[in-house]
Structure 1
Amino acid sequence: MSERRNAIPVAVVSALGLTQIIGYGTLYYSFSILAPGVAHDLGATVEQVFAVFSASLFIGGLSAPSIGKWLDRFGAATVMTVGSAISALTLTLCAWSPNLLVFAVAIMLLEVASGMVQYQAAFAALVERGPQTASRSITHLTLIGGFASTIFWPIAAQLHEDFSWRTIYLLYAGLNLLVCMPLHYWIARPGRTEGRPANKTKFPVIGALPEGSRRRGMIMVSLAFALQGFTLSAILTHMVPMLGNVGFGAAAVVIDALFGPSQVLSRLINMFFGQDLPPPSLATLSAVLIVTGVAMLAVFGAWVPGAVAFAVCLGLGSGINSIAQGSLPLWLFGSESYGVITGRMAASRLAAGAMAPFVFSFVMETFGINVALVANACLGSVGIAAFVAVSQSTKRRAIVAP
């Protein structure tokens, strides 16, 4: 009975799904397509533009804990409303940028705004609206949000044939201002009671970790997610050229294309068959799939079936990883201070992801692709061990307070 009363409306999940597609599509996925035009127009190299982007990801990681506090203090949907306005403003600043320095400042501000509107904030909004059913809604949300790259990569490519990158950024600013901000404002209004976040009046989730184990659990889970973030960022950044260097040539693009559908497939499978799987098991499975995929490429090299298995495993693991980022903190630590907890975890994950492309590239150039892949798989194995250790520390499943 309490679960039904605490259910999150489908309209809210759908609205957040649309804003996640627009948020990730305009603020993240389109960058790789627009970067060459940005570099040419600003008199910079593509490498310099991507270095600016990596630095912005690191800044975003540093801002994540503060954003987490705002989510708990003001309400996630309220923060997302403000974040959409800031996203529109910074996208406009990007479009106006006369040189690389101004563009760099704009992109760094944009990455801070991204933390206010993307998954970290959206998960917190779902936990506020219905703590008991948030895990299920997080799965549905990630399924919808998983189409961001599928939709915006071709949109950005098509737009870039007819418009400059500056015009495209202005169009993206309009989407954030005219679509995302009103939707976030609509979610914020019924999601708050007397100025306090909605989860204060809902039936909260009590975390499965006992108080004495929470600090250790936080460190272990943050480490595990950071290592997963490092692995995924390193591999995905270099995926197509890396596969080409291994010996696949033009087939590298085809193999790379298996990643996206595999992400969506894993979320579909979890939605229909994985509801009873505890979040620690889900997170562990994600880490195992990612490590297995990387290890397969290291072992089988230019063997096509091995490369296909690599892309599929990586996609499946990445898809589940997005779900685990939202559901595992809720299961372990409960709904109280959820924003602060996920903000701290996001900081280490985003910082690791920002450094990964450079570190992985250096190891590849210095020691070769195989050594880089094996080292990456070993780091991922540490993440698996961390998830297993946390799972064993849980005394009971998260329960609903009476």
Structure 2
Amino acid sequence: MAEGGVASGASGFQIIALGTAQTIAWASSAYLPAVISQPVAHTLGVSTSTVFAAYSFGLLVMAALGPVIGRSIDRHGGRGVLCFSNVVFVAGLLLLGSASSLFMLFAAWAVIGAGMALGLYDAAFAALVRQHGTQARLSITGITLLAGFASTIGWPLTSAVVAASDWPTACLMWAAAHLLIALPLNWRTLAPGASLLPSAELASATAHPDDIAGSRRAFVLVAVFGTATSFVTSAMAAHLPGLLQALGVAAGLAIAASALVGPAQVAARAIEFVASKRLRVHPLSTARVAVTLHPVGGLVLLIAGGTLWAPALFALLHGAGNGLITIAKGTLPLALFGASGYGVRQGVLAIGQRLAQAAAPFLLALILEHWGGGVAILLTGALSGIGLLALTGIKRTASAAPIQ
């Protein structure tokens, strides 16, 4: 693979390899608590909400490290960061699998949180933009297209291992996947460094002073959109099967419906891939459509939740919207602000997102325990509405990033 791939974008092999590595990273981190929270709580003698509090603590660690990691990728490229993430994931998962106290549980999720900061989408997107510049949009979509299967693979596979053995074995399985699969893929497919973006592209990212105020306003609105939707994404990733059960859906049907999130994400991302390539649809349009799907699905679920098809439809709509939102979080800042400083900018945007992600599992656990699934649906639908309002205030005109 050529190192100077700014003009041509990522190769097909690089997209497949990084997509596979991202699938493992997401399945072994964000999609892990939904399955193992109850057996972990039983083993340690704590409440399920306490287990999610430990996961939220890991997300706080992730938020704190984001800007530093983004700046490092901007300066040095992403191979070292992503490969190191696999090592950190292995350490965190082994620590989690051996946790015998509340302190060890929180310590394990702190380490996994560092791995998430080093190795999830923000870092992968920054590595692609650092290497391919503005041509990275299709690569970002391609990687999320594959990693959309993380929940579809992760939830059933983790559940099967827990049922056949126990939850520490599931942690060991994912640690092995990082070491034997994800680490070699990240090492093989990312260049050891990254050539600087062409001077013309750097120049295009420099704003006229008159554009700075508009740029800052757009940046704030993008941050609001990202924060609001991150709460919804994190809440559903951690609680979707439990949320459906809280609404009266049978456990088997809840798991089966939740597994539809992955295919819906992939289908939506495939449509976006075609639309962005052939129709040149702006990421802002993608984001506006995406953020409406979760509340529409929630409304259907509240009205017709007693039917067999309503949970599946909700999962499909949520999955499609979440799949497009993930792409928009990577491509919208690139389209609005350019490639220069992309990594650190994403790191700053991610602070609010990670804080929301950290709060969501614990808060939604409390809501489900005390007020039920209906209140949870109303909350996540309202936050999606806030994200949509923020997007309506953004113009498509690209301007310089307010953060360098």
Report the TM-score range of the alignment, normalised by the length of the smaller protein. Answer: 0.7 to 0.9
Task: Identify which range, 289-298 or 269-278, moves more after superposition.
Answer: 289-298
- Write the distance in 2 (CA, Å) between the matches of 1:89 and 1:377: 37
Report the RMSD for the aligned CA atoms in angstroms.
2.9
Q: What's the secondary structure of 1:64's corresponding residue?
A: helix
Match of 1:124 among 116, 123, 126: 126
- Write the distance in 2 (CA, Å) between the matches of 1:368 and 1:163: 31
Partner of 1:239: 240
Q: What's the secondary structure of 2:281's corresponding residue?
A: coil
Shift of 1:316: 1.1
Q: Per the alignment, do residues 106 and 135 of structure 1 end up closer, same or farther by CA in structure 2, a change over 3 Å counting?
A: same
Partner of 2:336: 332
Match of 2:201 among 197, 201, 204: 204
Q: What's the secondary structure of 1:29's corresponding residue?
A: coil
Shift of 1:13: 1.4
Q: Is the 8 Å Cα contact of residues 287 and 328 (structure 2) preserved in structure 1? A: yes
Partner of 2:289: 285
Q: Is the 8 Å Cα contact of residues 6 and 129 (structure 1) preserved in structure 2? A: no
Task: Identify which range, 318-327 or 44-53, moves more after superposition.
Answer: 44-53
Partner of 1:258: 260
- Write the distance in 1 (CA, Å) between the matches of 2:305 and 2:87: 47
Post-superposition CA distance 1:31-79 (Å, at most 9, x none):
4333344334444443322221122223322322222222223322221
Q: Per the alignment, do residues 219 and 306 of structure 1 end up closer, same or farther by CA in structure 2, a change over 3 Å counting?
A: same
Q: Is the 8 Å Cα contact of residues 24 and 118 (structure 1) preserved in structure 2? A: yes
- Write the distance in 2 (CA, Å) between the matches of 1:137 and 1:110: 26
1:50 aligns with 2:52: yes
1:384 aligns with 2:401: no
Shift of 1:247: 4.2
Q: What's the secondary structure of 1:51's corresponding residue?
A: helix
Residue segments in structure 2 that go unaligned for 5+ positions in a row: none
Aligned partner of 1:100: which letter? L
Post-superposition CA distance 1:205-258 (Å, at most 9, x none):
745984332222111101111111112333454433433443444544444343
Partner of 1:182: 184
Shift of 1:383: 1.0
Q: Per the alignment, do residues 315 and 175 of structure 1 end up closer, same or farther by CA in structure 2, a change over 3 Å counting?
A: closer
- Write the distance in 2 (CA, Å) between the matches of 1:165 and 1:242: 21
Task: Identify which range, 283-292 or 358-367, moves more after superposition.
Answer: 358-367
Q: Per the alignment, do residues 203 and 98 of structure 1 end up closer, same or farther by CA in structure 2, a change over 3 Å counting?
A: farther
Partner of 1:215: 216
Q: Per the alignment, do residues 204 and 85 of structure 1 end up closer, same or farther by CA in structure 2, a change over 3 Å counting?
A: farther
Q: Is the 8 Å Cα contact of residues 127 and 199 (structure 1) preserved in structure 2? A: no
Q: Is the 8 Å Cα contact of residues 208 and 332 (structure 1) preserved in structure 2? A: no
1:323 aligns with 2:320: no
TM-score by length of 2: 0.85
Shift of 1:163: 4.0
Shift of 1:388: 1.7
- Write the distance in 1 (CA, Å) between the matches of 2:78 and 2:380: 34
Aligned pair count reads: 390
- Write the distance in 2 (CA, Å) between the matches of 1:3 and 1:78: 18
Identity of aligned residues (%): 29
Q: Is the 8 Å Cα contact of residues 152 and 260 (structure 2) preserved in structure 1? A: no
Aligned partner of 2:388: which letter? I
TM-score by length of 1: 0.86
- Write the distance in 2 (CA, Å) between the matches of 1:278 and 1:289: 18
Task: Identify which range, 158-167 or 330-339, moves more after superposition.
Answer: 158-167
- Write the distance in 2 (CA, Å) between the matches of 1:261 and 1:364: 26
Match of 1:272 among 265, 271, 274: 274
Q: Per the alignment, do residues 361 and 44 of structure 1 end up closer, same or farther by CA in structure 2, a change over 3 Å counting?
A: closer
Q: What's the secondary structure of 2:397's corresponding residue?
A: coil
Q: Per the alignment, do residues 41 and 239 of structure 1 end up closer, same or farther by CA in structure 2, a change over 3 Å counting?
A: closer
Shift of 1:397: 8.9
Aligned partner of 2:217: which letter? R
Residue segments in structure 1 that go unaligned for 5+ positions in a row: none
Partner of 2:111: 109
Shift of 1:343: 1.0
Task: Identify which range, 205-214 or 147-156, moves more after superposition.
Answer: 205-214
Partner of 1:62: 64
Task: Identify which range, 55-64 or 132-141, moves more after superposition.
Answer: 55-64
Shift of 1:161: 4.1
Q: Is the 8 Å Cα contact of residues 3 and 132 (structure 1) preserved in structure 2? A: no
1:8 aligns with 2:10: yes
Q: Is the 8 Å Cα contact of residues 83 and 114 (structure 1) preserved in structure 2? A: yes
1:350 aligns with 2:357: no
Q: Is the 8 Å Cα contact of residues 34 and 238 (structure 2) preserved in structure 1? A: no
Aligned partner of 1:9: which letter? S
Shift of 1:21: 1.4
